[in-house]
Amino acid sequence: MPPPGSPRLRAALAAATDDRILLDLPAIERAYDALLRELPGVRVRFALKACPVDAVLTALADRGSGFDAAGPEEIVQALATGVPPSRVHYGNTVKSDAQIAAAHRLGIRDYATDSLQDLAAIARHAPGSRVFVRLAAPGGGALWGLGRKFGCAPADAVDLLLAAREAGLTPAGLSVHVGSQQMTADAWRDAVDMLAGVLAGARRHGITPDHVNLGGGLPARGYRDRRGNPLEPPLDKVFATLREGMRHLTQTSAAPLDFVLEPGRHLVADHGAVRAHVVRLTGRTRPADQPDHWLYLSCGRFNGLYEMDAVQYPLEFPGHPATAPRVPAVVAGPTCDDDDAYDPRGPVHVPAAVASGDPVWIHAAGAYTVSYTTRGFNGFPPLPVTILHAPTTP
Ligand SMILES: *Cc1c(COP(=O)(O)O)cnc(C)c1O
């Protein structure tokens, strides 16, 4: 198996002399192009919380992407790429009156909703806008489900579309998010069935949405599960299910339908890495179900690796050959928090000879590492970001 990361990324990791996040911009651009080859014609609205880095957003915007934004601050960052406001939607169903008014002033005319209260606020503070109704998806099969906080039942969706029309808004679409790092194609098939039912129900009331938003959730390839096994998402099957689903929904609709996708993780996770360093490898006698060794890294849950409770990022220890003796260790971050660790039941085999200060490469860390970071919990600061560009040809 080839080592993780492109040669460009690996060279930059080797050259780094301090801790940082490295993002391989040409690889992210290639991931965007590959996604459009799999799903021709979809409108991509990159969920910018997955990588809110201006150079990444501009590169995606230049290729035709728009943005899924969660509030006025993200909208401002998205518009700074130069995309027109029509390529940015307010995808968060949670918004205050002031946030809606601010988005409206910024030119945003597409809003997600899942409640009558939010809808009334949109009608008042963003009059005449287009709304899309988010349906709740159960989130099974995903590493992080989103079915509890977001979305409404199919029956409520038709009522919301009717209420939108009544309030002078355009009932423009439907959306769903099947949960982040969704590992099953079935989740999208079930979502499509639900969307088709709502489209048919809306049609009986003379409402014909012009688009369906199939959300985010597309998985990254590079993670391991919390026990350390490769995740291997069935991406070919997922894309086939999405293509078939779009055909089905187009047939169900009374009018032409556009399809929107809001990938986050899928476009960036595998194309970034963290250069961190070893704080210390320790040995202590532990309860029988825990390994005796702990490997503390300079970087953990509060300065980039927030998701380390649910996934393991593959680690590489440059300078220690694969054949060097290894010990099973629980990998943990540097803070005084018990959650700042990989699952102790998934020890990582680390070189027994690692020393304090040795570099560690943390792979598949391009998604959510920039944004899921605190402003220095326990005094460990957020990591600086380095963007790798394609070589310029003279
Ligand atoms: C976070 C988010 C996404 C992106 O999710 P991924 O699982 O990273 O693809 C898409 N849409 C909405 C509304 C989100 O909140």
> Using one digit for the tens of pLDDT, what is the confidence trace for 136-178?
999 999 999 998 999 999 999 999 999 999 999 999 999 999 9
| Residue 221: exposure state from Cβ atoms within 10 A (0-12, 13-18, ≥19) | middle
Strands 66-69 and 43-47: parallel
Ligand 1, residues 68, 110, 118, 146: which to mutate, most atoms within 8 A of Cβ?
68
Quote the pTM value.
0.96
> Which pLDDT score is estimated for 352?
97
- pLDDT number for residue 201: 97
> Using a 6 Å cutoff on CB, does residue 49 contact ligand 1?
yes
Give yes or no for residue 241 CB within 6 A of ligand 1: no
Q: Residue 211 in 3-state DSSP? A: strand
Which of 177, 188, 372 most suits a substitution to test ligand 1, by most atoms within 8 Å of the C-beta? 177
Q: Across the strands, what pairs with 21?
A: 274, 385
Query: Which pLDDT belongs to residue 376?
Result: 77
Q: What is the pLDDT of residues 210-261, one digit of tens each?
A: 999 999 999 999 999 999 999 999 999 999 999 999 999 999 998 999 999 9
Instruction: List all residues 6 or more positions away from 161 whose beta carbon is below 8 Å from its beta carbon.
Output: 133, 171, 202, 205, 207, 209
Q: Which two tokens stand for residue 361?
A: 């490469």
Ligand 1 atom with the shortest distance to the CA of 216:
9
pLDDT at 381: 85
280 and 63 in contact (C-beta within 8 Å)?
no
* Ligand 1 center to 47 CA (angstroms): 5
Q: Which of 180, 261, 368 to probe ligand 1 with, by most ligand atoms within 8 A of CB?
A: 180
Distance CA 41, CA 39 (A): 6
pLDDT at 375: 78
Helix, strand, or coil (residue 170)? strand
Residue 314 Cα to ligand 1 midpoint, Å, equals 23
Query: Which residue shows structure tokens 């287009």?
Result: 130
**Under-70 pLDDT residues of the chain:** 1, 393-394
Domains of the chain with bracketed CATH = 25-269 (3.20.20.10), 270-388 (2.40.37.10)
> Which pLDDT belongs to residue 1?
64
SS3 of residue 313 by DSSP: coil
Q: Which atom of ligand 1 is nearest to the CA of 177?
A: 11
Letter for the amino acid at 83?
V
Is the shortest distance between the CB of 233 and ligand 1 below 6 Å? no
